Amino acid sequence: MRQLLSAFLILGACVQLSTAKHIDGMVGLKGHLAKQRDVDHFLKTQVQSTNFTTSDAIKKIRANRAADIKENFQRAWQAYKKYAFGSDEINPLTLEAVTTRNGWGATLVDSLDTIHIMGMDDEFKEATEKVRQINFDKNDGEPSKVFETNIRYIGGLLSAYELSNDKVFLKQATALADIMLEAFDTPTGIPWQMWDVQTGTGSSEAGPATLNNLAEIGTYQLEFFRLSQLTKDPVYHKAAQRVYDVILDRNVPKKGSIYSVPGLYPIFIDIKSGKFLSGKPNLGGGSDSFYEYLIKTWALSGFKLQRSLDMWKESVKGIKKYIVSRGSDKRMYMGIGDDDGLDSISDTFTCFFPGTLALASRLLNDNDMMDLAHELLLSSYNTFARMPTHIGPENFGFLPDGDDDSDLLETQRGEIKKYGFYLDRPYYLMRPEVIESIFYFYRITGDEKYADWIWEIWQGIKANCVVEGGFAGLRDVRLGRAGGLIGKQESFVFAETFKYLYLAFTEPDVISLDEYVFSTEGHPLKRSFSFNGTFSG
């Protein structure tokens, strides 16, 4: 199957890329790898601040804060170990093991690099032994998301390999990626949304069988690029890049519409035709990491994958024009683009964007991007800061500046007056995005104010979410614990939320942004591997 797929991809690439000499997947836009002399100045760019505090008193406070976060991570890890070791998740309220992602141990694998970074050596050894035993050929009998398998398992294994150098992680990452490549064996090369590893069949979570969405077709490029580098086998990178080839080739931008591929993309796509179907462009769930991977893959490739940068720049233009809007509270929000105007609804997923945009602004030395990133950070942080719990909702709405509020409910109007936004879905599932963006601002500016914001959010989490099994979700962030807990602890709590919390208080050179790119699941991948357009050297 693997050979067949390689042949398919090579054939596809030959048809589309008749002039491409390199394994870069270039087609459409400016189809070339950037020349070395053109990337040299990017390689010299410093992302992290050079102005971190030198005060011993502040350093001491920071060290104590890091220790507090680590202690709580350890407590949650011990609960997972005691009640659900090797399972995908633990239900933090009932202490039961839960299977959600093929039953291979999503929490185990997703947590590896955080455990390593926190210096929990015994736990890391124990987890390594457990990872050695995972058999990716078998699942729990249910299909699972290809995207989640990539970001949580393959990303987690790659990062654990890069930090520890233990070959078992690379071996397992490769074994799993080889299985998942089968999900890319579709008429276009765009992957199925769901894949059953035991029956080898693809499907869609809901709707027509060949339906997928932007984030779930466009969040492989980082992990697959690195896997091709580490294995010297281009097949992974080619599969991921082919997704771009197809969407750029088969979707003609509609004139006079905001669906301006390349730039802004509808959410839903038919994997058989490669054509977008519907779904208004936005940066929230279902779309988010597609945009994130454009700039990050460019950075990880040592600034060589020019197409990713070109696409990113087009997207930022579209985002500025159609997605971003000033609210009635004068803050900048990210809504949902529509040909008829903007839908002023947003979710906490979009709050990753200020951090990624700030990273891009540093890499590209673009102050306009930084200004926008800062404005968007303020509204993202505000969704947490204004709540009595210091924790923000899953979903929120705003009123575009100058719009009349007659369509809003009375309660929504009241919340807009009080907070600047209203709560649409008031629950919290320990998601990391707001903390993640603040972390980028801390590392990029060196301003302790940002670390303090993260500390304040952490106080809210500790006061409201701590339970015997780890950390529970909240039903209503306005009410906190008293409003009820949710028995869910996704693996990203260990992979992302705790990693960004902790790294905001370590020495800033621990997983420096000048040395690593974080995947969408918070897995750091090294930027030090050079890339000359082939994976053979």
Is 456 an active-site residue? no
By C-beta, is 349 or 471 nearer to ligand DMJ? Answer: 349
By C-beta, is 270 or 436 nearer to ligand DMJ? Answer: 436
CA distances from 52 to 44, 202, 297, 443 (A): 20, 49, 27, 8
- Assign residue 297 a region (left: φ > 0; alpha: ψ between -120 and 50; beta: otherwise): alpha
Q: To the nearest 10°, report the CA torsion of 323, 192, 206, 249.
A: 40
Cα–Cα distance, 45 to 153 (Å, whole number) = 31
Which of 394, 436, 476, 490 is catalytic? The answer is 394
By C-beta, is 233 or 347 nearer to ligand DMJ? Answer: 347
Find the shortest distance in angstroms from Cβ 80 to ligand DMJ.
17
Contact pattern for ligand DMJ over residues 230 through 269, marking x by CB under 6 A: ----------------------------------------
Find the shortest distance in angstroms from Cβ 54 to ligand DMJ.
33
Cα–Cα distance, 315 to 524 (Å, whole number) = 24
Which of 475, 482, 434 has the alpha carbon at shortest distance from 454? 434
Find the shortest distance in angstroms from Cβ 325 to ligand DMJ.
23
Q: 145-168 burial by CB neighbour count: b if 16+ within 10 A, else e?
A: bbbbbbbbbbbbbbbbbbbbebeb
Among 263, 438, 521, 531, binds ligand DMJ (CB under 6 A): 521
Contact pattern for ligand DMJ over residues 333 through 352, marking x by CB under 6 A: ----------------x---
Cα–Cα distance, 264 to 202 (Å, whole number) = 27
**Residues 145 to 164: which contact ligand DMJ by CB under 6 A?**
151
Question: Is there binding between residue 111 and ligand DMJ (CB under 6 A)?
Answer: no
Is 96 an active-site residue? no
Q: Return the number of other C-beta atoms located less than 10 Å from residue 267's C-beta.
A: 22
Is 142 an active-site residue? no
What letter would DSSP give residue 425? E
Among 73, 428, 492, 500, binds ligand DMJ (CB under 6 A): 492
By C-beta, is 110 or 310 nearer to ligand DMJ? Answer: 110
By C-beta, is 121 or 205 nearer to ligand DMJ? Answer: 205
Find the shortest distance in angstroms from Cβ 377 to ligand DMJ.
17
By C-beta, is 134 or 434 nearer to ligand DMJ? Answer: 434
Find the shortest distance in angstroms from Cβ 135 to ligand DMJ.
24
Find the shortest distance in angstroms from Cβ 473 to ligand DMJ.
12
CA distances from 489 to 90, 149, 473 (A): 7, 17, 7
CA distances from 30 to 188, 292, 298, 310 (A): 22, 20, 14, 8
**Residues 32 to 91: which contact ligand DMJ by CB under 6 A?**
none
| Bridging pattern class, strands 211-213 and 201-203 | unpaired
By C-beta, is 151 or 345 nearer to ligand DMJ? Answer: 151
Question: Is there binding between residue 520 and ligand DMJ (CB under 6 A)?
Answer: yes
By C-beta, is 303 or 518 nearer to ligand DMJ? Answer: 518
CA quadruple 368, 371, 373, 376: dihedral sign:
negative
The stretches of 350-447 forming alpha helices (DSSP H) are 353-364, 367-385, 410-419, 433-445
Amino acid at 185: D
Among 100, 289, 301, 361, binds ligand DMJ (CB under 6 A): 289
Q: Which helix (H) or strand (E) holds 212?
A: strand 211-213
Which of 104, 125, 100, 123 has the alpha carbon at shortest distance from 175? 104
Find the shortest distance in angstroms from Cβ 290 to ligand DMJ.
10
Question: Helix 306-318 and helix 235-250: axis angle, to 10°?
Answer: 40
Which of 148, 185, 415, 436 is catalytic? The answer is 148
**Residues 460 to 479: which contact ligand DMJ by CB under 6 A?**
none
Which of 24, 113, 310, 433 is catalytic? The answer is 433
Question: Is there binding between residue 308 and ligand DMJ (CB under 6 A)?
Answer: no
CA distances from 441 to 60, 370, 373 (A): 21, 10, 9
Burial of 21: CB neighbours in 10 Å, binned 0-12, 13-18, 19+:
exposed
The 3-state DSSP class for residue 379 equals helix
Question: Is there binding between residue 431 and ligand DMJ (CB under 6 A)?
Answer: yes
Find the shortest distance in angstroms from Cβ 219 to ligand DMJ.
7
By C-beta, is 101 or 527 nearer to ligand DMJ? Answer: 101
Amino acid at 63: A
Find the shortest distance in angstroms from Cβ 33 to ligand DMJ.
27
Instruction: Tell me, by CB under 6 A, how many residues bind ligand DMJ.
Output: 10
Contacting residues toward ligand DMJ, per CB under 6 A = 151, 288-289, 349, 431-432, 492, 496, 520-521
Catalytic annotation, residues = 148, 288, 394, 433
